[in-house]
Amino acid sequence: MSSISPQFIRFTTPARLWGACEVPTKHKGPLETKEVGQAPKVERPAVQTPVRSTPQRSSANVQGTKDSDDNPKAAKKSAKSPTKRVETDKVLESLDSLSLTSPPNDPIRSELAYHRLAKGNNMNWNFQLPVPHNVSFGIEFATSNSVGLVSEYLASTMYHGKNAGNAKQVEDRVWDQLDQLDRDLIKRAINRPVNGFPVIFYAAMTNNVNVIRRIIVEYGASMDAVSDEHQLPLLAFVIVNGSIGGKDSTSVLKTLLSLGAAGDVFPKSFYSPYNTTLPYNGPAEEDMTDLGDVNKQWCRSVHIRTKLAGAINITQRYYLQKSTTIPKIKEREQQVAAATGVSALLGIPYLLIGQTDAAISLRTTLLSHFLFETVQPLVLVFAGPSGHGKTELARKLSELLSLDMTNVDCTKFTSVTGMFGGNSAYTRSENGSTLNNFIADHHTKACVVFLDEFEKTTWEIHNALLKPFKEGIYEDRRDNDVCDTSRFIWVLATNALDDEIMEFCDDHANIMLGENDPDDTSRKFLMRELSTWLREGFVAEFGAPLAGRISQFIPFLPFLDGEKAIGIEKCLLELKNQIYDPVDLAKKRFWGDVILKIRNSPAICKHLADLWYDRETGMRSLARAVQIDVRNNLIGTKYFETPGKIKDGQPKVEYVLDIRGGDTLVVTERSTNVEEVLEDEVS
């Protein structure tokens, strides 16, 4: 459903983006050559100011205005408040005009912004969006140019579409509705507020990553959107609203961060350090030293801080902190990515647990490959212990670039015939093989071929790959037709160099096993040195001819202590989503209708990670921890103890996972209707 084109190896625009900067004059960009003697334009530093959009007046407000005409007291009261607000606005506007001398976190502006926010608004909001009008689609609507009406329609589509069923059904319903509208009209309406909330807030309610990604990428929905009344940022709404009813919105948060949403709208003490337990009502005000920033005024409300502290999990806090440590995208990187249709690739470091260095190395290698219009395959080596993200990074790469991917388990093949199929002289050669047929089907196309556990292959297979890697040519084993593989991305995943990686990390543990610092030049130097080590080890293991075809060696490191805990919570959140779905006896799905609440998540995750993490198996060891210690021993046992038979449509039950005494996990139960759970959460 993505708009990103897979035609990315060759430029989609005629402009040459490297060398002497030969950019056509009609394209006004940062690379345009200035005329001799032309004075450079001085950019005034912009000051961050609060968004002061006017909330839409509801019918109740309109009625109140009419009543004031007949009621002198009401008229006097209604006239008084707007005057004060106008005066405050004038003060703020005058401060805005002093953009060169007024810093972003000026205390006077911050206090005025918060005074206006708290004075005129109800801070005890329950994080539920108002129900939009259920706008029906008809001939009059289809020909309407009313941006407001289209905004209402979009919000209604998102709001009522969230209950369409599974994720695919939600997507289909939303796209069926949006495809009936003019695209330009959608772009004009997408950032208009509905009932005081931008349309993207209603999209976030669907908790559907594909829906959210598409309205941002295709239609220009703003990720910096805030609500009219509370000035609440989108990311905060995603976290709290997504937790209502037992669902998890971590994937939505990661997607928004990967697309460029700013994580610094939260006070830093909410996410750094990420693996500690927050007080129930959030960090103390004296610890929020950046609360004076204009973009954090929404967090002065104790009610909102309490809701956020109760909803945010350590994984979300981890990705918020990670967003502040990943080096910012450079302007020319953005330009090249946009010109070649791979802008989504820029956000890939935000989508993994750990492996920031690997993701950045991959991003840099790909952008360089596109920049120089390389007409030959890209061949990458992902080296590192099992369960640390090699397959996940390749999968994210294919998803972000909308490319087909095939995953080949090399442990199954000991010969060229087994991997590629027999040639035309052999019986049943017309069948080919899975890999052979995938290559033939993607002749001249861009795609990803992932060769897992490549160290299990033989020298015959290595020789068979030399020509496709070097020249981008492959012969279909079925009929000897020549296939163009020049736009392929080959990924060779191997554990053969694990010992070198572990030894290197242990020798430089103070740097390599510490949290990533974007300004740490010593770490960057060590990562380059490690890549050189891997190249030498690869030559010794696989031979110089094959090593000479490799474009880049990318190391994957063992998890840090905090990342181990995040891995545990990832598995817990997956379990939470699985058991939330309803029972379906017809499909023999006997477990479900369970709302899992996790208390003291940092302590639980650290406890399980310390017990179970194995640096040789990574996430697999953490998944076993959750499967055995939580799912089977606790939740499964508690589920079987519930009286009565399992039924379709049975009431939701709430399980609470907690830790006692620092080392004992327990699950308690509170049976209730889901409506009562929701009321309890939003009260």
Q: Walk across the sheet containing 594-598 and list its strands.
A: 594-598, 653-660, 664-671
Tell me how far apart the alpha carbons of residues 15 and 21 are, in angstroms, rounded to a whole number: 9
Asked if 538 contacts 553 with a C-beta cutoff of 8 angstroms, the reply is yes
Tell me how far apart the alpha carbons of residues 534 and 497 are, in angstroms, rounded to a whole number: 7
Radius of gyration of the chain (CA): 28
Element (H, E) at 399: helix 390-400
Tell me how far apart the alpha carbons of residues 307 and 127 are, in angstroms, rounded to a whole number: 9
- Confidence (pLDDT) at 75: 44
Asked if 291 contacts 220 with a C-beta cutoff of 8 angstroms, the reply is no
- Confidence (pLDDT) at 142: 54
At position 320, the amino acid (one-letter code) is L
Q: Which residue, 537, 565, 581, is CA-closest to 622?
A: 565
477 token code pair: 């084993």
- DSSP code at position 537: H
Element (H, E) at 187: helix 183-189
Q: Dihedral of CA 420/422/424/427: which sign?
A: negative
Half-sphere exposure of 40 (CA within 13 A, CB side): 5
What is the residue whose two structure tokens read 């000479």?
Answer: 548
Average pLDDT, the chain: 79
3-state secondary structure of 46: coil
Asked if 55 contacts 228 with a C-beta cutoff of 8 angstroms, the reply is yes
- Confidence (pLDDT) at 431: 77
Asked if 230 contacts 253 with a C-beta cutoff of 8 angstroms, the reply is no
Phi, psi for 605 (deg, rounded to 5): -65, -40
3-state secondary structure of 594: strand
Asked if 667 contacts 656 with a C-beta cutoff of 8 angstroms, the reply is yes
Half-sphere exposure of 198 (CA within 13 A, CB side): 29
3-state secondary structure of 660: strand
- DSSP code at position 276: S
How far apart, in Å, are the Cα atoms of 634 and each of 110, 288, 598, 631?
48, 38, 13, 6
Element (H, E) at 542: helix 521-542
3-state secondary structure of 656: strand
CA 150 to chain centre: 28
Residues 554-588, buried b or exposed e (16+ Cβ, 10 A)? bbbbbbbebbbbbbbbbbbbebbbebbeebeeeee
CA dihedral 620, 625, 631, 634 (to 10 degrees): 170
How far apart, in Å, are the Cα atoms of 623 and each of 263, 452, 609?
28, 20, 10
Asked if 205 contacts 159 with a C-beta cutoff of 8 angstroms, the reply is yes
SS (HEC) of 367-396: HHHHHCCCCCCEEEEEECCCCCCHHHHHHH
- DSSP code at position 559: P
Tell me how far apart the alpha carbons of residues 346 and 291 are, in angstroms, rounded to a whole number: 30
Asked if 465 contacts 546 with a C-beta cutoff of 8 angstroms, the reply is yes
Q: Which residue, 241, 165, 243, 250, is CA-closest to 203?
A: 241
Mark the ranges of the chain whose per-residue pLDDT is less than 50: 1-15, 20-122, 139, 671-683
CA 586 to chain centre: 35
What domains lie within the chain, and their CATH numbers? 139-325 (1.25.40), 331-555 (3.40.50.300), 561-669 (1.10.8.60)
Asked if 462 contacts 413 with a C-beta cutoff of 8 angstroms, the reply is no
DSSP 462-529: HHHHHHHHHH-EEE-TTT--EEE-TTEEEEEEESTTHHHHHHHHHHTHHHHTS---TT-HHHHHHHHH
As beta bridge partners, residue 381 has 492, 553
- Angle at Cα 547 formed by Cα 541 and Cα 549, nearest 5°? 155
Q: Which residue, 168, 290, 312, is CA-closest to 241?
A: 312
